[in-house]
Structure 1
């Protein structure tokens, strides 16, 4: 019976023109990613970092694809600090954060969504499973283990680290968070880049069924 319900949901999503949504997470600390740069001959470029790993900015994001529509990208951030520096925040995201982001994606696309993500424990909790089963517009598939190359969101994080964050000596956690958010907002307005992230994985949307992907 349960398998029949799941099959019916997939067919309904295809018939309604569902969007494919890939979700992932990343973290950025106060030590900048090192990238190739210019310097006078014989002088090795150095980045002066005044902070230890005393904080980080966690990011969760998704990219959404739907045949006939421009790709979309959405994200949420959370600053994480050591207790001795300021009031600590909880580490990482929980199922309520996923619920909020997926609901926002469903509203923005105005269509059912098929979510593809990895097997983090927080995504397989009882509360998360209950939410998925209670949402007729939502179908979830898990990526195989150790398959980041199949998730376009991983390419998104790479662009951020190789872009504005590369070789950047931030002044603190607030500076880091602002830079991460600014970089992601700019990418939101570059649909050709978001399309390129999907192409780089080797996955392809099938127009006829709208919610299928093939290698």
Structure 2
């Protein structure tokens, strides 16, 4: 039996293409699940901050932020967000940029590492992205993050202690250092089995094809039992 394929994903919970990429990867994996010898995978999420200088409580909406951050005219930003919303809908995600509360995401990344240490990273990643893009929840303040951690069954007191002590900040910085070492300057970025880099929110078929290809090669290389 071959070892599972490792899929390491660098992303930011405030990145709209990262949530779309996550859904497309999940769809690609679902398509391979009925194969005679279905690929086995281990997925790990890694931290990447798109806008580390963003304040926790940003005064303005997403259009204000992007217009200021990217120097784009407001009408152009509105068109860009409309396009992203349409693409997200195609992946089954109902983005609500009108509700979105832009914030600094470093504490959310710390929480993801806390969740990973407690076996709930995947659930926490999904909860954070849904809260941010669909529900208009604040994901930058400790109180709000602890509430989200509690919702997925993590210990609220332990989550609060970890965030207040910045217990996992070093792990966040290590992820970011690894991204720099790989030359990753945009997300989402998928490293598949340590040898293939896939950049951007590729369609499900692209993930399906590369996963099947990697799995087939692993099966050939696996020692006979």
Q: Mark yes or no: TM-score above 0.5.
A: no
Q: Which has the higher helix share?
A: 2
For the superposition of Structure 1 and Structure 2, which TM-score range results when normalised by the shorter chain? under 0.3
TM-score norm. by structure 1 comes to 0.28
Pick the structure with more strand per residue: 1
Greater Rg by CA: 1
The TM-score normalised by the length of structure 2 is 0.27
Higher relative contact order (Cα pairs below 8 Å, separated by 6+ residues): 2
